[in-house]
């Protein structure tokens, strides 16, 4: 059975991180990268920052599908083979229905290490580049209600160009 394409597509730009540490007294020295997961089957990874130390910068765009059932986007910071910290980003932080299409959200999240302790901050931006349309199609959502005839209408049901004045 073939995997059905997701109606959502996102663009995650991993900008930078701050204060990454391998342990309480050992800052990250080099070879850091970030893994972004929307589900077990949709994972993307940045290239390595070899010189940034505890304050790496990537500024790297990652395109990925976001399943309609996803509730979180998981981001993990790594140094070499070690997990430095992770955060779960609620999908509602960047894909709420009231946000216009292609709205760029700049986000910063506290990373937590394997024991739950604070371990740095990750800065990123997220943009929903494709979402289901008002009729359930995969067309971009226009951000305004659409009348049955396909023309933009108003929420009250008064057709465009008609007045409710008597």
Cα separation values, 121 from 19, 33, 62, 109, Å: 7, 13, 19, 5
pLDDT at 34 (0 to 100):
97
Q: What is the pTM (predicted TM-score) of this model?
A: 0.74
Mean pLDDT of 32-45: 93
Least confident range of 50-54, 106-110, 144-148: 144-148
pLDDT in tens, 75-125: 999 999 999 999 999 998 988 777 777 889 999 999 999 999 999 999 999
pLDDT at 120 (0 to 100):
95
Choose between 164 and 52: higher pLDDT: 52
Closest CA to 86 of 48, 64, 126, 115: 115
């Amino acid at each position: 059975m073939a995997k059905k394409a997701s109606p959502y597509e996102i663009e995650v730009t991993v900008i930078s991180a701050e204060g990454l540490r391998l342990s309480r007294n050992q800052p990250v020295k080099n070879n850091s990268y970030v893994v972004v997961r929307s589900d077990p089957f949709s994972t993307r990874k940045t290239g390595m920052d070899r010189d940034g130390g505890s304050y790496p910068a990537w500024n790297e765009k990652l395109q990925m599908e976001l399943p309609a059932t996803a509730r979180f986007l998981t981001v993990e910071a790594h140094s070499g083979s070690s997990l430095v910290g992770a955060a779960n980003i609620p999908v509602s932080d960047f894909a709420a229905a009231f946000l216009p299409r292609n709205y760029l959200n700049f986000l910063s999240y506290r990373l937590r290490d394997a024991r739950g302790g604070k371990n740095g901050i990750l800065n990123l931006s997220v943009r929903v580049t494709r979402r289901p349309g008002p009729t359930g199609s995969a067309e971009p959502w226009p951000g305004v209600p659409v009348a049955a005839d396909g023309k933009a209408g108003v929420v009250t049901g008064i057709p465009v160009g008609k007045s409710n004045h008597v």
